[in-house]
């Protein structure tokens, strides 16, 4: 059996290519290009305008370009052939990787990975934030490591909102309307070669979901979509909007994801050995699988136990209030027909009250169905996303866990996605790094251990290059925003002097939830004004981030920071960029000097943006929460406050603010501006190297997937620990 999953699809958009360049179609429909800058550059070379506007290879290939000059450009042809050969080589060599050699055949089937959102690239807007980025990075690393994984999610036609900020600082929401012909998705075919639709029973009707494939290197991701003419007009929008507000609509989405996703796998003959629920939104996959077993005449109790053995769950929220919950009556009504078997083949029912009792939350309220609690009770293994988070989650859920524990598997980031091009070029040229194969490197080849050898001048130049890229981008975005607000031409001209890359630049970008305390920096505005306006050692701050459309307090924080950025005392030193997305995230985590994070401990489960910054040599200045509690070594960035907190929030906030100012004034600013005769900040560069060395491997999704494989996937597949031990030998030898 071939453990890597293959999924047949219809051909893509019918644009014509010169036969010599047919390989571009394969490149455009395998998002491998998203973490291979040479492939992205190829599309940019074909049509720079379309690329700059959409950052989307399919849009480039569809635009009416003249191929003639390229057909006569030996440089382009050579680069094209090289890149296509790289992709083919990448795809052909899966069997070389450790997991494949050691376990894939034993596994007996792939790992099905379910998530409500996936973030692969800014051109595919089916994500909102951290959860999606983690899922996207998980898929990319699974591909790099040739793990047999199939992803399952929803294809949101309108995605998550695009943010703009008006002249008064109010967040405005606009929902895009994606043209599927321009997304790198293809319709999945069933085993007869017809477009696949899967049924989902809802009250008084059966809807169907079309299934699309988004190919991530070696890993297919199946995306379900209810917006097709076979459904009633009122059912078509079910998969339109990510994290839709209406509870009933949200429940519909989660039925499509969990039950529809399971049926899509079945229809394709894919038999997962392990089912991974990344967050509880997909928990109805558990119900659907129990129903299947009951339909095959398994006793109900045994069916629950069987499903549990092969299921694993990743919990993401530190406090029970943050979990997905539905009124039990809503679940009875909306999920009732599905649980009763409905029209599915081999109809059989799972008693609703059995489902609801397993979904009682930590407060045991019988009127609520808690997706996290349900997943926890039905998982063979569960992990939290950092050490500290696992501890917090174990406390929160202790009563429900009945002696089992939530394991810590700390998040990571997909290094090739987040390392900037200038820094990557340095790693490859000076350290002989192979970013596609982090776990294939023997001890002697581990380039991150040799980062200490990067010469000062070259490291600083690569960093400045990434800073300049951010500065150019941020000026453009601010100009567009302030022009829309009606600022005068003279005011717009002034922006050209802002965001000087020579100035110490501090970035803060994340979702604006109130526990993240984005406005902590403004606790003492006079002190902040003195800091940022120091004539010899100026400082500037760039903020970005969205607040959920329903989160009014979060939106008020944006408004207050926007007002500060326009105030006479801080103007020109504080900036707020609109429409935070993966593109802005990439530019910011690469292009600032310091990454600020000051949540209220321990409410940040992990955080990953700080990891993205650190692998670029950008220094973290953060509360000891989430990943930084274990990532801080004392010499790779700074810790705000300590590990002991007081329940008096006001007092804690003030104490943290004072510590933040102290570190900025006494450590960050002096160290940054301490220059040698050649203008290089030697001590700062040393910190940058420490940051990279201590995080590139430890906070990579490669390391994370090793842990998922060993601690969750293999046990859930019933593979004995002895076999796990043998793998270590294989990796170390290889
Ligand atoms: C990485 C990322 C996040 C998550 O970062 P946090 O540190 O968890 O806030 C959110 N949104 C985008 C666009 C990202 O790239």
Q: How confident is the model at residue 730 (pLDDT cuts 50, 70, 90)?
A: very low
**pLDDT at position 66:** 87
Nearest to 589 by CA among 531, 542, 626, 540: 542
Whether pTM exceeds 0.85: yes
Look at 430-434, 462-466, 563-567, 719-723 and tell me which has the smallest mean pLDDT.
719-723
**pLDDT at position 344:** 53
First to last CA, the chain: 24
Distance in Å, CA 129 to ligand 1 centroid: 5
Q: Which residues of 206-223 are buried (b: 16+ CB within 10 A; e: fewer)?
A: ebbbbbbbbbbbbbbbbb
Mutate to test the pocket of ligand 1, among 510, 518, 615, 695 (most ligand atoms within 8 A of CB): 510
Residue 476 is classified by DSSP as H
Average confidence score pLDDT of the chain:
94
**pLDDT at position 316:** 95
User: Above pLDDT 70, what percent of the chain?
Assistant: 96
**pLDDT at position 442:** 81
Work out the angle at residue 439's Cα, subtended by the Cα atoms of residues 108 and 731, and round it to the nearest 5 degrees. Answer: 65
Q: Does 136 sit in the ligand 1 pocket, CB within 6 Å? A: no
Say how far apart CA 530 and CA 99 lie, in whole Å: 55
Return the CA Rg of the chain: 26
User: Above pLDDT 90, what percent of the chain?
Assistant: 89
**Region class of 194: left (phi > 0), else alpha (psi between -120 and 50), else beta:** beta
Say how far apart CA 293 and CA 297 lie, in whole Å: 7
**pLDDT at position 538:** 98
Task: Give the 3-state secondary structure of residue 349.
Answer: coil
Question: pLDDT digits over 11-27, tens only?
Answer: 877 788 999 999 999 99
Look at 36-40, 152-156, 479-483, 717-721 and tell me which has the smallest mean pLDDT.
717-721
Q: Does 596 sit in the ligand 1 pocket, CB within 6 Å? A: no
Task: Give the 3-state secondary structure of residue 295.
Answer: helix
Distance in Å, CA 142 to ligand 1 centroid: 20
Q: Does 704 sit in the ligand 1 pocket, CB within 6 Å? A: no
- Atom 12 (ligand 1): residue with closest C-alpha? 129
Mutate to test the pocket of ligand 1, among 420, 509, 512, 578 (most ligand atoms within 8 A of CB): 509
Task: Give the 3-state secondary structure of residue 722.
Answer: helix
Distance in Å, CA 574 to ligand 1 centroid: 20
Delineate the domains of the chain, giving CATH numbers in brackets.
19-92 (no CATH), 95-408 (3.40.50.2000), 415-699 (3.40.50.2000)
Question: pLDDT digits over 521-573, tens only?
Answer: 999 999 999 999 999 999 999 999 999 998 999 999 999 999 999 999 999 99
Question: pLDDT digits over 601-613, tens only?
Answer: 999 999 999 999 9
Q: Does 588 sit in the ligand 1 pocket, CB within 6 Å? A: no
Question: pLDDT digits over 280-306, tens only?
Answer: 999 999 999 999 999 999 999 999 999
The residues pairing with 594 across neighbouring beta strands, listed in sequence order, are 506, 619
- Atom 3 (ligand 1): residue with closest C-alpha? 130
Distance in Å, CA 691 to ligand 1 centroid: 19
Tell me the average pLDDT across 309-317. 96
List of E strands, 205-296: 205-216, 219-225, 274-278
Atom number of ligand 1 nearest to Cα 610: 7
- Atom 2 (ligand 1): residue with closest C-alpha? 130
Task: Give the 3-state secondary structure of residue 95.
Answer: helix
Q: How confident is the model at residue 89 (pLDDT cuts 50, 70, 90)?
A: very high
Distance in Å, CA 585 to ligand 1 centroid: 7
Q: Does residue 466 surpass a pLDDT of 90?
A: yes
**pLDDT at position 107:** 87
Say how far apart CA 86 and CA 630 lie, in whole Å: 36
How many Cβ atoms are within 10 Å of 166's Cβ, its own excluded? 13
Question: pLDDT digits over 469-486, tens only?
Answer: 999 999 999 999 999 999
C-alpha dist (Å) from residue 279 to 207, 284, 374, 548, 707:
25, 12, 11, 18, 18
Nearest to 419 by CA among 398, 381, 450, 448: 448
Say how far apart CA 565 and CA 167 lie, in whole Å: 12
**pLDDT at position 727:** 43
Say how far apart CA 390 and CA 642 lie, in whole Å: 19
Tell me the average pLDDT across 194-220. 97
Cβ-in-10-Å burial (0-12, 13-18, 19+) of 725 comes to: exposed
Atom number of ligand 1 nearest to Cα 606: 8
Sequence-distant (6+) residues with CB within 8 A of 335 are 251, 255, 284, 287, 352, 355
The residues pairing with 408 across neighbouring beta strands, listed in sequence order, are 384
Residue 323: both structure tokens together: 């979990």
Q: Does 316 sit in the ligand 1 pocket, CB within 6 Å? A: no
Say how far apart CA 628 and CA 623 lie, in whole Å: 7
Say how far apart CA 244 and CA 510 lie, in whole Å: 20
Q: Does residue 725 surpass a pLDDT of 80?
A: no
Nearest to 140 by CA among 124, 159, 161: 124
Given a contact cutoff of 8 angstroms between Cβ atoms, the answer to whether 86 and 124 are in contact is: no
Mutate to test the pocket of ligand 1, among 34, 120, 126, 129 (most ligand atoms within 8 A of CB): 129
The residues pairing with 124 across neighbouring beta strands, listed in sequence order, are none
Given a contact cutoff of 8 angstroms between Cβ atoms, the answer to whether 145 and 97 are in contact is: yes
Say how far apart CA 167 and CA 558 lie, in whole Å: 12
Residue 451 backbone dihedrals phi, psi, to 5 degrees: -60, -30
List of E strands, 411-476: none
Question: pLDDT digits over 227-273, tens only?
Answer: 999 999 999 999 999 999 999 999 999 999 999 999 999 999 999 99
Residue 537 backbone dihedrals phi, psi, to 5 degrees: -135, 65
Q: Does 132 sit in the ligand 1 pocket, CB within 6 Å? A: no
Atom number of ligand 1 nearest to Cα 608: 7
Q: Does residue 342 surpass a pLDDT of 90?
A: no
**pLDDT at position 300:** 96
**pLDDT at position 345:** 56
Question: pLDDT digits over 110-167, tens only?
Answer: 999 999 999 999 999 999 999 999 999 999 999 999 999 999 999 999 999 999 999 9
């Amino acid at each position: 059996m071939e453990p890597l999953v293959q999924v047949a699809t219809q051909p893509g958009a019918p644009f014509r290519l010169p036969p010599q360049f047919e390989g571009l179609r394969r490149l455009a429909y395998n998002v491998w290009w998203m973490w291979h800058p040479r492939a992205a550059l190829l599309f940019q070379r074909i049509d720079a305008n379309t690329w700059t506007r959409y950052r989307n290879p399919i849009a480039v290939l569809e635009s009416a370009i003249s191929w003639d000059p390229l057909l006569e450009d030996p440089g382009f042809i050579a680069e094209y052939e090289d890149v296509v050969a790289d992709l083919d080589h990448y795809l052909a060599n899966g069997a070389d990787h450790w997991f494949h050699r050691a376990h894939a055949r034993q596994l007996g089937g792939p790992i099905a990975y379910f998530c409500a959102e996936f973030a692969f690239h800014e051109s595919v807007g089916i994500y909102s934030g951290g959860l999606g980025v983690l899922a996207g990075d998980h898929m990319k690393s699974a591909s790099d490591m040739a793990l047999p994984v199939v992803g399952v999610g929803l294809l949101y036609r309108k995605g998550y909102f695009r943010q703009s900020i008006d002249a008064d600082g109010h967040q405005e929401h606009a929902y895009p309307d994606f043209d599927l012909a321009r997304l790198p998705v293809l319709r999945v075919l069933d085993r007869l070669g017809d477009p696949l639709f899967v049924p989902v029973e809802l009250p008084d009707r059966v809807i169907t979901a079309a299934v699309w494939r988004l190919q991530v290197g070696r890993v297919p991701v199946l995306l379900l979509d209810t917006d097709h003419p076979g459904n009633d007009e009122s059912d078509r929008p079910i998969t339109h909007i990510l994290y839709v507000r209406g509870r009933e609509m949200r429940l519909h989405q989660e039925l499509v994801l969990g039950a529809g996703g399971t049926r899509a796998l079945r229809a394709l003959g894919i038999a997962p050995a392990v089912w991974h629920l990344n967050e509880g939104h997909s928990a109805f996959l558990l119900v659907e699988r129990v129903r299947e077993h009951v339909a095959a005449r398994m006793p109900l109790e045994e069916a629950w136990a069987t499903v549990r053995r092969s299921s694993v769950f990743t919990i993401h929220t530190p406090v029970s209030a943050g979990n997905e919950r539905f009124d039990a009556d809503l679940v009875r009504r909306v999920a009732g027909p599905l649980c009763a078997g409905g029209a599915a083949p081999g109809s059989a029912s799972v008693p609703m009250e059995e489902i609801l009792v397993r979904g009682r939350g930590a407060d045991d309220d019988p009127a609520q169905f808690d997706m996290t609690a349900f997943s926890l009770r039905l998982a063979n293994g569960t992990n939290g996303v950092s050490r500290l988070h696992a501890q917090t989650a174990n406390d929160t859920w202790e009563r429900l866990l009945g002696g089992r524990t939530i394991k810590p598997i700390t998040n990571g980031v997909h290094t090739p996605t987040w390392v900037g091009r200038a820094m990557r070029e340095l790693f490859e040229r000076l350290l002989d790094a192979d970013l596609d194969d982090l776990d294939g490197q023997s001890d002697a080849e581990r380039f991150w251990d040799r980062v200490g050898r990067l010469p000062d001048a070259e490291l600083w130049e690569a960093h400045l290059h990434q800073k300049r890229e951010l500065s150019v981008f941020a000026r453009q975005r601010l100009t567009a925003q302030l022009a829309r607000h009606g600022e005068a031409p003279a005011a717009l001209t002034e922006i050209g002097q802002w965001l000087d890359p020579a100035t110490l630049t501090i970035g803060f970008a994340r979702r604006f939830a109130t526990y993240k305390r984005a406005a902590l920096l403004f606790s003492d505005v006079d002190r902040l004004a003195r800091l940022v306006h120091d004539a010899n050692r100026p400082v500037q701050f760039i903020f970005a981030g969205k607040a959920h459309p329903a989160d009014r307090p979060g939106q008020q924080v944006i408004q207050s920071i926007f007002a500060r950025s326009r105030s006479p005392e801080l103007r020109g030193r504080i900036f707020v960029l609109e429409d935070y997305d993966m593109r802005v995230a990439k530019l910011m985590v690469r292009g600032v000097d310091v990454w600020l994070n000051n949540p209220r401990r321990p409410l940040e489960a992990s955080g990953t943006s700080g990891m993205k910054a650190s692998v670029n040599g950008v220094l973290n200045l953060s509360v000891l929460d989430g990943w930084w509690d274990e990532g801080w070594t004392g010499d790779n960035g700074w810790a705000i406050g300590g590990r002991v907190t007081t329940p008096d929030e006001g007092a804690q906030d003030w104490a943290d603010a004072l510590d933040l100012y102290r570190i900025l004034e006494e450590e960050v600013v002096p160290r940054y501006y301490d220059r040698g005769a050649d203008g290089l900040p030697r001590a700062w560069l040393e910190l940058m190297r420490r940051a990279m060395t201590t995080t590139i491997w430890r906070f990579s999704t490669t390391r994370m997937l090793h842990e998922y494989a060993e601690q969750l996937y293999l046990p859930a597949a019933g593979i004995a620990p002895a076999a796990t031990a043998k793998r270590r030998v294989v990796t170390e030898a290889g």
